[in-house]
Amino acid sequence: MTTPKTHGIIAEFDSVDAIIAAANQVREAGYTKWDCHTPFPVHGLDDAMAIKQTKLPWLVLVMGISGCLGGMFLQWWTNAYDYVYIISGKPAWSLPANIPVMFEMTILFSALTAFFSMWIINNLPKWYNPLFHAASFTKVTDDRFVLAIESRDPLYGEATRGLLQSAGALAMEEVNPPEDDGLMPSKLKGWLGVVFSLMLLPPVMIASSMYSNSSEPRVHLVPDMDSQMSFGEQEASSFFADGRSMRAPIAGTYAQEDDHLLGEKPGYYTGKEDGAYLTALPVEVTQELMARGQERFGIYCGVCHGMGGKGDGAVSRRAQKLEMATWVQPADLHTDLVKVQPPGQIFETMTNGIRTMPGYARQIPVQDRWAIVLYLQALQRASAGE
Amino acid sequence: MADFTAVKELTDAQLDDLVHPPQLVQGTEKFHDITESVCVVAEAHRAPKAWYVAFGIAVTFLGILGAMIFHLVTTGVGVWGNNQPVAWGWPIVNFVFWVGIGHAGTLISAVLFLFRQGWRTGINRFAEAMTIFAVICAGMFPAIHVGRIWVIYWVFPIPNQMDMWPNFRSPLLWDVFAVSTYFTVSLLFWYMGLVPDLATQRDRAKTKLRKMLYGAFALGWNGSNRQWHRYERAYLILAALATPLVLSVHSVVSFDFAISQLPGWHTTIFPPYFVAGAIFSGFAMVMTLAVPARQLFGLKHLITMRHLELINKVIMATGMLVGYAYAMEAFMAWYSGNKYEGFTFVNRAFGPYAWAYWIMVSCNVISPQIFWFKKARRSIPIMFIVSIFVNIGMWFERFVIVVTSLNRDFLPSSWNYFTPTIVDLLTLMGSFGLFFTLFLLFCRWLPQVAMAEVKNVMPAAHAHGPDHEEDQ
Amino acid sequence: MTSSANIYPADDASAVASRASRIGLLVGVVGLAAAWFLGSAEDDHMRHFWMSYLVAFFLLVTFTMGGMFFVLIQHITGAKWSVTVRRQAEFIMGAVPFVGLLAIPFLIPLFSHDGVEHGGLLWSWVYPHGEHQALIEGKVGFLNREFFVGRLVFYFVIWSIIARYFKKNSLAQDADGDEARTVAMRKRSAVCIIIFALSISFAGFDLIMSTDPAWFSTIFGVYIFAGCVISIHALLTLSSMFLQRKGHLKGMVTVEHYHDLGKMMMAFTIFWAYIAFSQYFLYWYANMPEETAWYLRRIGDEWGYLSWFQLFGHFVIPFLGILSRHVKRNRKLLCFWAVYMLTVQAIDLYWLVAPNLYPEGSPFSMVEVCTFTGMLGLFVFAVYRQATKHSILAHRDPLMDQCLAFKNF
């Protein structure tokens, strides 16, 4: 008859031979819920207890291979797929160069698996154990070998003591843990509760800021580039005598639009001479210039103004089809409003833009702009004949 | 308990006996004596006076390190001596130096375990601790040498708003993975070995605080044989993993240099040469630590002259490997017909850094030759001095490799001499402060010797019967 | 001067050994003769034959040097697991003088006036020509016929001296069981291993690396060494299994020893892969033409398949195959892998040499088959001939008890 309160019985031995012999006897007697506790792994005890080889190595192998493939995938995805760039002539997916990291990840995954799965399979950490309540159990980690048989073993009973005695036990002890053994002290529970609640704060804060609006500028974690040491425009500087960071142009500097210094007719660069629009083209009118103008008009202007200049370009038609409320129709270049404009004004409009039309100074070189003006004049004259 | 501080050193006759070498544990056959002699160190109310003195010095240097890093971060990398073309100066030399030292611990723990060398049990605990602390010192240098330490996390492949990823084709990134893996695995391996010993200290603890702290980290270990079975398997697997890891980490570190096109750097023997050199310097550091520790903490019966002589033999062997690599490099520098390579070798020996080169050769190649003599291998003062020389020599080896190849490479107009600054020097000294602070704390509070493993190699641990294992 | 109290008897395998050595000699002579005739049928001044002969010859060098390394390292470390197989390694090492005699025919390709358009029948620095002429002429102080022959003689003389010393002492220990011999051998092995390391490296440079005299690699000696070590453990596995099948070494070479031999084969396969990768990777990464030319020859259509085999066949497959504890403790499986590793060692040496002499593609034919078969036959002859005169077990080694007592994890 087992006593409900007792956990089991432990027997103490003082030599390796004794514990192995005792283990053999206990195993042969048919006990199943028992174990030996030793200060170091005793070789031969595994066989005496008939312990099967653990499956741990297979798990490690699987995780190791995942680490290897994971490493390969990581490097392929980051360097050869998501953010591709060539460096020092190496292909984007440089498999030889990926080997070191793949190797390290294989080892890392394998080692983490071996370590953590060993503790998990061993059911550790488990800081309470009924056996710790036995006074003689502390000697296990020193120099004694203990054989423990649990009371829940079907064979546990009076004979157990006798068996252990005959196996040569130096001492035996019944293990009777207190009622609240294994329960977490309420103080500890309280503290864990507090810690857990505090740990919930950061994700809550993050979530609340992600799904709300704020008129404040973003928090900038790495403000290195925000305040740079280089000088901004109009900034004061103590380095120069005049206190300015900006320097005046040197003698002989001329404006980009200084036509006569560059050998061009007045108004070539701006379309204006002395503030008034040019009324004639400042370039030689030739067949080539006209052809050039037609080509360039087709490239830059036709998309909005239409190939005939009627304001019905493909972009405009599309915008109207989509019923875009904010779309301003490009000007019909054959209206009187446009026809009355001198060439210089057309040139200026092309250069700087007007209303919602952007300036094309960056895309169309000066000579080409005059070619387009020439072609436009030809277009306007052609429609006048209709 | 017998007083082990008076244990006599092993005699020549005992050490010469090949068939029946002296027991790994001297002066006792009882397991309890192992427990006592190792645990009393941590349980002592006061540490030996020398410990306080050493700790004070170590913490001072740690403070200096902190000050130097603060100065570096607030002022910039210009506080170091790095210039053009020697853009990689002391920080990288120190990094390679410290990583190398760490390798001996893993070798002792893992490789000697795989070779069934029982003598490793006397020294593996603190060699592994040495590894972890050395790797901490090592990892610090690449972190602080990048310039903008506050964005060091950019080396990790973390999704970010810049939509950028680090460059996996760079050996600097392989270093990140290799050294982090090495640190992690060493820490796991060391901690795993500590758990049974922490359980021993937990069971002996007299105060509630000690019981709680040791107990918490002992994870409730109770010596169950079923647990030991899986533990042993995992230990073997970690040892089997740590072995190629040790080879790979210093090979990856050598790749920092060998993948370049610089003469003196780009040579295929670098990976195994660096690994051999790492083990060489690591064992020398183990010796430097073991000699005072065994004296001070009364561990001469666990770290016997047999252990010390074996360490010296390993130092000799790895020193020879390093010498072999020097010979191969020198021969190929001529044989290759590459005049830049040939010049580099002549320059190393006779150029502006010839002084560093000859310090390196005399410390690395010449000084360990004394160990051909038995008397020298078994003399405490000589082995201690040689171990210090070897460490100096190995630091200079990395210095010679890095600085001479950078200082004079292809274009003479780019040549420039490198001089370290006081910040360089104090940072290196400070790193020793970090190392020794951590190490002395370990010596004081944690079991310096792997008790469970030492007990396992004593004669009483072996069953007498048909299957029995002799001490190897 | 103590004697060990061992009670193990000598193991006389002279009957088996003499039969094996006679068959080996027959196969050797017939094989090489066939190779010679087949080679002379090809219209290339025997160039193909000489290349096969060189590779097969160097295979034997790696076997005997593997044996030497094994004996030396077991003595230096005082290892106990290897005592029962060490005598066989001593015989393998003891074949080195015979292998040295097999080097004499190299005088033909060295001093021949044929093959000038290739630079020489075997080593193209004999007649420097082509785009690397200036470079090779710069090395003529080292790469010239006289110094080359002198070095070869030197290697084999020194190897023979070392082999003789260790074999003689070990055999003498059979008679008197004197522990002092073990102590003396341990002491001497330290210096000898330094000589071994340098000599095998330079032998590798001379015989193998100089087939492309423009190329160089500082790790080449270590690469050759790795092959030597894998080979000796494979050879010891096969030899022990063969002798045990014939009723010898009963209870002397146990499953624990085979497990260790398997472990070493595995460990050094990984080591070989590490060295091979280091060499390839560093040259790939720096991409310098003088270094990559050698590899470019091996990754094109002509030889690419063999390089892939090196990766998968020489590393991945044996790694996965020998990984399991179960495999290492199973005779049939371990025997298979031992044969496999010796085959890939031969392929490895072929891969090192053939693309240098035949960049246009492999000339593999019956010439290679006959040469290799012949050389292996002669090797068996040279090794087992020694077993006819001496015990195949170092039965009075003082460490024998401990050798038989250990158990693997």
Note the pLDDT tens digit of each residue in C281-298: 999 999 999 999 999 999
Q: Which of B219, B469, B33 is nearest to A45 (CA)?
A: B469
| Mean pLDDT value across residues B318-328 | 95
Residue B470 lies inside a defined structural domain of this protein: no
User: What is the average pLDDT score of chain A?
Assistant: 89
- Asked whether the predicted pLDDT for residue B469 surpasses 70, the reply is no
Instruction: Tell me how crowded residue C41 is: count the other CB atoms within 10 A of its CB.
Output: 11
Contacts of residue B242 in chain A, CB cutoff 8 Å? 111
Which residues constitute the domain of residue C325? 14-404
Residue A11 lies inside a defined structural domain of this protein: yes
**Dist. CA A18–CA B265, nearest whole Å:** 61
Residue B26 lies inside a defined structural domain of this protein: yes
- Top pLDDT among B4 and C384 is at C384
What does pTM read for this prediction? 0.85
User: Which pLDDT value is given to residue B466?
Assistant: 46
| Mean pLDDT value across residues B8-21 | 83
Claim to verify: residue A175 and residue A271 sit in the same structural domain: no
- Cβ pair C277:A43 closer than 8 A: no
User: Which pLDDT value is given to residue C6?
Assistant: 58
- Report helix, strand or coil for B204: helix
Residue C221 lies inside a defined structural domain of this protein: yes
| Mean pLDDT value across residues B12-16 | 84
Contacts of residue C287 in chain A, CB cutoff 8 Å? 89
User: Which pLDDT value is given to residue A176?
Assistant: 85
Residue C409 lies inside a defined structural domain of this protein: no
pLDDT band at residue A157 under the 50/70/90 scheme:
confident
Number of domains in chain C: 1
What is the domain-level CATH number for residue B368?
1.20.1630.10
| Mean pLDDT value across residues A354-366 | 93
3-class DSSP string for chain A? CCCCCCCEEEEEECCHHHHHHHHHHHHHHCCCCEEEECCCCCCCHHHHHCCCCCCHHHHHHHHHHHHHHHHHHHHHHHHHHHCCCCECCECCCCHHHHHHHHHHHHHHHHHHHHHHHHHHHCCCCCCCCHHHHCHHHHHHHCCCEEEEEECCCCCCCHHHHHHHHHCCCCEEEEECCCCCCCCCCHHHHHHHHHHHHHHHHHHHHHHHHHCCCCCCCCCCCCHHHCCCCCCCCCCECCCCCCCECCCCCCCCCCCCCCCHHHCCCCCCCCCEECCEECCCCCCCCCHHHHHHHHHHHHHHHHHHHCCCCCCCCHHHHHHHHCCCCCCCCCCCCCCHHHHCCCHHHHHHHHHHCECCECCCCCCCCHHHHHHHHHHHHHHHHHHHCC
- Asked whether the predicted pLDDT for residue C62 surpasses 70, the reply is yes
Residue C6 lies inside a defined structural domain of this protein: no
Q: Which two tokens stand for residue C408?
A: 């693997």
**Dist. CA B267–CA C290, nearest whole Å:** 13
Claim to verify: residue A172 and residue A263 sit in the same structural domain: no
Claim to verify: residue A145 and residue A288 sit in the same structural domain: no
- Cβ pair A44:B463 closer than 8 A: yes
Report the residue from A51, A131, A139 with minimal CB separation from B226: A51
ipTM of the prediction:
0.94
Residue B184 lies inside a defined structural domain of this protein: yes
| A96 inside 8 A of chain C by CB | yes
Residue B342 lies inside a defined structural domain of this protein: yes
Residue A208 lies inside a defined structural domain of this protein: no
pLDDT band at residue A1 under the 50/70/90 scheme:
very low
Beta bridge partners of residue A357, listed in sequence order: A354
What element of type H or E holds C321? Answer: helix C317-322
- Domain termination residue (choose one: A130, A163, A179): A179
User: Which pLDDT value is given to residue A181?
Assistant: 72
Which residues constitute the domain of residue A100? 1-179
Residue B2 lies inside a defined structural domain of this protein: no
Count how many Cα atoms sit within 13 Å of the Cα of residue B235 in the half-sphere of its side chain.
20
Residue in A closest to C325 by C-alpha: A57
pLDDT band at residue A223 under the 50/70/90 scheme:
confident
End-to-end CA distance of chain A: 121
Claim to verify: residue A23 and residue A161 sit in the same structural domain: yes
Which residues constitute the domain of residue B433? 9-461
Contacts of residue A126 in chain B, CB cutoff 8 Å? 219-220
| Mean pLDDT value across residues C380-407 | 90
| Mean pLDDT value across residues C263-267 | 95
Contacts of residue C407 in chain B, CB cutoff 8 Å? 467, 469
Note the pLDDT tens digit of each residue in B259-277: 999 999 999 999 999 999 9
Q: Are A124 and B234 in contact (CB under 8 A)?
A: no
Top residue of C256, C275, C277, C406 to mutate, by most chain A CBs within 10 Å, is C277
Top residue of B115, B173, B268, B275 to mutate, by most chain C CBs within 10 Å, is B268
- Cβ pair B462:A16 closer than 8 A: yes
Only one residue has tokens 């723990």, namely B109
Find the range with the poorest average confidence among A269-283, A360-374, C331-345: A269-283
Residue A279 lies inside a defined structural domain of this protein: yes
Residue A204 lies inside a defined structural domain of this protein: no
Residue A228 lies inside a defined structural domain of this protein: no
Handedness of CA A330, A336, A342, A343 (dihedral sign): positive
Claim to verify: residue A263 and residue A143 sit in the same structural domain: no
- Cβ pair A96:C281 closer than 8 A: yes
Burial-class residue A85 by CB neighbours within 10 Å (0-12, 13-18, 19+). Answer: exposed
Phi, psi of B224 (to 5 degrees): -60, 135
Note the pLDDT tens digit of each residue in C102-152: 999 999 999 998 888 888 899 999 999 888 889 898 999 999 999 999 999
User: Which pLDDT value is given to residue A386?
Assistant: 55
User: Which pLDDT value is given to residue A260?
Assistant: 67
| B467 inside 8 A of chain C by CB | yes
Residue A203 lies inside a defined structural domain of this protein: no
| A126 inside 8 A of chain C by CB | no
- Asked whether the predicted pLDDT for residue A316 surpasses 90, the reply is yes
DSSP state letters, C128-150: --GGGHHHHHHTTTTSSHHHHHH
Interaxial angle between packed helices B270-296 and B124-145, expressed in degrees from 0 to 180 and rounded to the nearest 10: 120
- Top pLDDT among A154 and B95 is at B95
User: Which pLDDT value is given to residue A165?
Assistant: 87
Residues 13-52 of C with CB under 8 A from B: none
Instruction: Tell me how crowded residue C12 is: count the other CB atoms within 10 A of its CB.
Output: 16
Q: Which of C84, C65, C4, C19 is nearest to C392 (CA)?
A: C84
- Asked whether the predicted pLDDT for residue A311 surpasses 80, the reply is yes
Phi, psi of C216 (to 5 degrees): -160, 155
**Dist. CA C297–CA C294, nearest whole Å:** 6
Residue A320 lies inside a defined structural domain of this protein: yes
Number of domains in chain A: 2
User: Which pLDDT value is given to residue C118?
Assistant: 87
pLDDT band at residue A158 under the 50/70/90 scheme:
confident
Phi, psi of A174 (to 5 degrees): -85, 140
- Asked whether the predicted pLDDT for residue C4 surpasses 70, the reply is no
Residue B66 lies inside a defined structural domain of this protein: yes
| B335 inside 8 A of chain C by CB | yes
Claim to verify: residue A171 and residue A288 sit in the same structural domain: no
Q: Which of A325, A300, A324, A322 is nearest to A313 (CA)?
A: A300
- Asked whether the predicted pLDDT for residue A257 surpasses 80, the reply is no
- Cβ pair C179:B325 closer than 8 A: no
Report the residue from C277, C287, C407 with minimal CB separation from A99: C277
User: Which pLDDT value is given to residue B3?
Assistant: 61
Note the pLDDT tens digit of each residue in B331-376: 999 999 999 999 999 999 999 999 999 999 999 999 999 999 999 9
| Mean pLDDT value across residues B69-91 | 94
Residue B467 lies inside a defined structural domain of this protein: no
Q: Give chains near C: 3+ CB pairs under 8 A.
A: A, B
User: What is the average pLDDT score of chain C?
Assistant: 93
Claim to verify: residue A58 and residue A164 sit in the same structural domain: yes
Number of domains in chain B: 1
Contacts of residue A90 in chain C, CB cutoff 8 Å? 285
Residues 235-254 of B with CB under 8 A from C: 236, 244, 247, 251
CA–CA min distance A96, chain C (Å): 7
| Mean pLDDT value across residues C180-203 | 95
Residue B471 lies inside a defined structural domain of this protein: no
- Asked whether the predicted pLDDT for residue A363 surpasses 70, the reply is yes
pLDDT band at residue B430 under the 50/70/90 scheme:
very high
Q: Are B470 and B462 in contact (CB under 8 A)?
A: yes
- Asked whether the predicted pLDDT for residue A184 surpasses 80, the reply is no
pLDDT band at residue B145 under the 50/70/90 scheme:
very high
| Mean pLDDT value across residues C40-45 | 90
- Report helix, strand or coil for B265: coil
